[in-house]
Amino acid sequence: MAISCYYAPTYFSPFFFAPLVATQAPLVASSMPYGDRDAFEAVLALLRSTGAFERVLFENSFDRDRHNSATGPLVSLVPEGWEEFDDVDPASLLRRVDFSLSLLVRDDEPSTRFDRLARLEAAVHDAIQGADLGGCLPGLTRIRRGRYDPRSLHPEQILRLDGEFTYMNNPNSSAS
């Protein structure tokens, strides 16, 4: 019996199915299992690699006093929560982790602020959408939604993006 390749219908995202050919070297097993912190570090590295932000932060909110000197755009990564499920295979768990990104720009002109946020959102989306983050399932790494913060004080505007990533979690490990 000959093996035949499966070609996904075109209405699926190109990130939904794994590629037929390996695109990178296999991951080398380490003594520490892959966890949330590893994926968050990868997201921070991707955000820094865009070169679009003056500061890339890993904190809950913007401290106006501490970050007031920043003239360029800022981004803050905030872990939101996680969920584990074993729908596919009871012996292995999938862990979906939710996070938010807050993008902040400052400009006196409201339309310029909006344009800058739109460009930053596109850069973030291109960097994160479908990324494997060093151990996640690329088809399940994505930005889900965005919303503008109506409480932003002039001359600031904040855009909050909600995203998620998913990886195989070893139920016998305690790292996350």
Distance of alpha carbon 130 from alpha carbon 126, whole angstroms:
9
Residue 166: how many CB atoms within 10 A of its CB?
A: 21
Q: 82: which residues sit within 8 A by CB, 6+ positions away?
A: 36, 95, 96, 97, 98, 176
49-67 tens-digit pLDDT: 999 999 999 987 665 545 5
Percentage of residues of the chain with pLDDT beyond 70: 71
Confidence tier at 87 by pLDDT (50, 70, 90): confident
pLDDT for the residue 126: 96
Percentage of residues of the chain with pLDDT beyond 90: 55
Q: Which domains does the chain have, with CATH numbers?
A: 36-169 (3.30.2000.10)
Give the Å distances, CA to CA, from 98 to 6, 75, 79, 101, 139. Answer: 31, 16, 6, 10, 15
135-165 tens-digit pLDDT: 999 999 999 999 998 888 888 899 999 999 9
Mean of the per-residue pLDDT values of the chain: 82
